Structure 1
């Protein structure tokens, strides 16, 4: 009797658990479907607004606007040669077309139209007057959801704009769309259960990178002229490199992070940074000029009041540049290595001094710092195993490593660093199989150095042939996965990474601009 009663209770409990799980999954599916319908509705309203403008202005020429660089666009808007309406609705229409191709837009910021009227009524024209800007999903915009690709964050709209969004609006910019990210942000792919997979604009079998992957795909395809991303391990630099645009992360606290939703609250081991993404370096500099203003310092007093240093950015003095082609842990792809060596040669011909640099104790950095801090184990160690004592020890080790790195930099009297950027774009699904690929970018988050990427070349048939004999440093399973991830990429962009010491954003951008200029001149000669 007792045995049969126990059996009945166990069956009942199991049935109850299954029923509860079914209910939860049903609720999650319903929330996801509602969010998807909400997005379709928002994009439908965006399309109606763009169409209405076109019908009211039949002689409107969108291509003449889309072909402008950001400096040219800013100048024409400021001089009254273009109206903010014509620019906003042009980029709305283009973003919709791009989204149908690569699935990168998650929401339409409908208050952009009222923001347009506000911008026009302002007496003083800000540095980004009338410029439409795209915003990464994880940056708060009042009244809209920062999902991080997580169903649990749906139905919790932001109560205020992030400080960076407030400052952009203060400078006359018009945020108009939010863009896709991987679930939880802790990936350099760009897919989640709510909005699906964003694909690479040049090859739909490839990922655009992440976590600012929606930004990378949208900007590369011409659907946005300037975007704002976040970077805690390469989340700006990897998608910028994969897609073939420029991306820049600042020193952790140079730009306010108030209103940036982190993947792990309270995480202090590695510094996240915000930054711009655009088609060229000058556009990045324009954005930084606009952000580093009194309004940001007023809104967030924890940010050091350091305005943009024009003298450093516009300097033409020759630089002393450290460089390396491998971190001695992840062997670069043939195109990554070639990109660095060709750029080194161009810089030397231009009169700069190039100094070999060897990243030291890299295995120690990977296994003792990255694994315990944020990275390879998907944060399980950080969340579950680290005691307070161990966490303090980790922070001490990070600071010691950082000071060693800076000491070697100073010993060699370096201004800036040239090194590989993780490229070309990976095949879909491979970022999850090869998380170690982010080591090249993650290093500069732990060091908390400003860093950016500049596209300098494309994968050649010779690179692809050389890849067949690629063995890596260890010839292990990870090296084999890396080869599978990057193969079949002829014609896709390849970038280099540029870095500087903390708070030297302007010097880093000045170096990036030099790399861009020399690479562009070489391209024109060929």
Structure 2
């Protein structure tokens, strides 16, 4: 092996040694695709541990922790066992630090017992972190061999805030090399798979979080999103996920790729199996005033009036826009069925749903790609130079996934651009945001409420989780990174072999649209979750969460 391969072998060995042997069991053969029930079937977890981890309502979990009904040690142990089981069937974890997490949980239990009060709003709650988030004394490789053996000297600001809120960080989760993929594979830890169907991708770049939360191995996870990296895995793995607006959640002290590119910033946001988890994360972080620790964090306290939908008719009669397609690729039958289900549910609940006409989506996507591509290859080369680790050029599975042998990333131009050329892209980005704002404002003539559309419903992508290496278009997500709109992913259903039969050919929008229509086969997507995104307006996180609760309740009704 080369020196970089030796580093990887040592890192994987250390990771394996960090797992308690009594928590490992024989795993299903590779031809067993759906492993979503594996934790229950493993025999590793007690009935109480299953009860704890199957409590998906984070608010309820926190109440039981605060009352002492469940101790922090009990809850952390239960989720840790389940996370390790998730790791065995999906390869979703990077850093595993059991003793450290249980020591933290024990300290919280002592505090509650001695004072009768909780440390903070997330007291005792295990929280999983995307590998970017630094914890003092632990590695954050973000999928790069060159970052092995680089131990964090201090916590990232968000990790500190979660600790201040009483949370128990307990695992870190897998990502793709460079973080710039909608899938999850790197040379350090390998590939993460989808627990509903392991032949399908879990999405990316926060793919480890998506797979872990779907298996209920974490009640609350933190991912990041620069082009869909929270929303894609949340949708592909059938969980709730939120992309907040720029700088609403602190990023200071975390590792990242394309550092210095601040025209379209990456943002941190939550994953959970409940909307209460999404709300508790956002409110807890904001209430602890992150702007006092991160110079870029926006000074905007939690707005309870906005959460009560004071600017949206108190939520009594909302009007949603629904986008059937983005003008570039028509979604597959499961996504179209999901859109119909959500529309019907909202209409039955007394709300209005009108068609949403997308504008400039192709140009917005092209602009995002050009901004990233202005220096992406140089960024990747600089990071891998010291170890000569190959840069991954495809997510397609090779015959052997021991290491990648790809050396060129074809997605970004070989040469960069001048500063002036980049400035023109930044200028056009602002113009595109203004055009979309005006487009949204004009919908007040169609809604019947006197207000513009309250929120927009759209696909997260043109398909549910595809096979590994085939998640190509992220056009349905990255436009909202350019526009800086907060977005919440809502699970809707699962692929049904009869209901989601292949549709007859339609009037194709372009060659890519024809290609994606032709390779659809419902059998390929067996058991895959169906999810959609709910889009709000910049810095309207509180209102968007409240509207998501209304939509979710309508779906469940």
Q: Same fold (TM over 0.5)?
A: yes
> Aligning the two structures, in what range does the TM-score lie when normalised by the shorter sequence?
0.7 to 0.9
Output the TM-score relative to the length of structure 1: 0.86
1:111 aligns with 100
| Counterpart in the other structure of 1:174 | 168
Native 8 Å contact 1:427 1:486 kept in 2: no
**1:518 shift after superposition:** 1.2
Q: Which position in structure 2 is the counterpart of 1:7? A: none
Structure 2 matches for 1:330-345, cutoff 5 A? 330-345=329-344
* 2:459 maps to 1:420: yes
Match of 2:386 in 1: none
Matches within 5 A, 1:129-148: 129-148=123-142
1:380-399 mapped onto 2 (5 Å cutoff)? 384-399=415-430
Map 1:32-181 → 2, pairs under 5 A: 32-44=8-20, 47=23, 61-68=48-55, 69-109=57-97, 110-122=99-111, 123=115, 124-125=117-118, 126-181=120-175
For 1:445 and 1:332, how far apart are their aligned partners in 2? 20
Report the alpha carbon displacement of residue 478 of structure 1 after superposing the two structures with TM.
6.1
Question: Once the 2 structures are TM-superposed, how far is the Cα of residue 306 of structure 1 from its aligned partner?
Answer: 1.9
Query: Would the aligned equivalents of 1:425 and 1:486 in 2 still touch at CA under 8 Å?
Result: no
- Comparing 311-320 with 420-429, which one deviates more in the overlay? 311-320
Distance 2:253 2:517 in 1: 35
1:399-429 deviations in Å (ceiling 9; x for gaps):
0000110111112112211111224111112
Distance in 2 of aligned mates of 1:61 and 1:494: 30
After superposition, the C-alpha distances for 1:271-298 in whole angstroms (9 at most, x for unaligned) are: 3111000012121001111111235232
Q: Do 1:190 and 1:197's aligned partners in 2 also have CA atoms closer than 8 Å?
A: yes
Query: Are the equivalent residues in 2 in contact too, given 1:127–1:172 (CA < 8 A)?
Result: yes
Matches of residues 322-361 of structure 1 in structure 2 within 5 Å?
322-361=321-360
Secondary structure of 1:297's aligned partner: helix
1:495 to 2:546 alignment: no
CA distance in 2, matches of 1:352, 1:480: 36
Contact 2:73 2:109 in 1 (8 A): no
Q: Return the alpha-carbon distance in structure 1 between the equivalents of residues 308 and 508 of structure 2.
A: 40
Distance 2:490 2:22 in 1: 32
Deviates more, 1:35-44 or 1:120-129: 120-129
Inter-CA distance 91–385: structure 2 relative to 1 (3 Å threshold)? same
RMSD of aligned residue pairs (Cα, Å): 2.4
How far apart, CA to CA, are the structure 1 residues paired with 2:373 and 2:455? Answer: 26
User: Of the candidates 197, 200, 211, which is equivalent to residue 194 of structure 2?
Assistant: 200
Of stretches 104-113 and 199-208 in structure 1, the one that deviates more from structure 2 is: 104-113
SS of alignment partner, residue 206 of structure 1 = strand
CA distance in 1, matches of 2:363, 2:130: 33
Unaligned runs of 5+ in 2: 25-44, 310-314, 378-410, 444-451
Structure 1 position 320, deviation (Å)? 2.5
Aligned to 1:372: 370
Number of aligned pairs?
Answer: 482
Sort the Cα spacing of 1:269 and 1:465 in 2 relative to 1 into closer, same or farther, 3 A: same
Residues 498-519 of structure 1, C-alpha deviations (whole Å, 9 max, x = no match): 1111110011111211121111
Name the one with the larger helix percent: 1
After superposition, what is the alpha-carbon deviation per residue over 1:199-231, rounded to whole angstroms, capped at 9, x for unaligned? 110111111111111111111011111100000
Match of 1:31 in 2: 7
1:430 is matched with: 470
**Counterpart pick for 2:439 among 408, 415, 424:** 408
Larger radius of gyration: 1
Deviation at 1:114, TM superposition (A): 2.8
Calculate the TM-score normalised by the size of structure 2: 0.82
CA contact (8 A) 2:184 2:204 kept: yes
Give distance in 1, aligned partners of 2:192 and 2:507: 31
Matches within 5 A, 1:242-281: 242-281=236-275
Q: 1:388 to 1:45 in 2, by over 3 A?
A: farther
Structure 1 CA distance for aligned equivalents of residues 164 and 520 of structure 2: 43
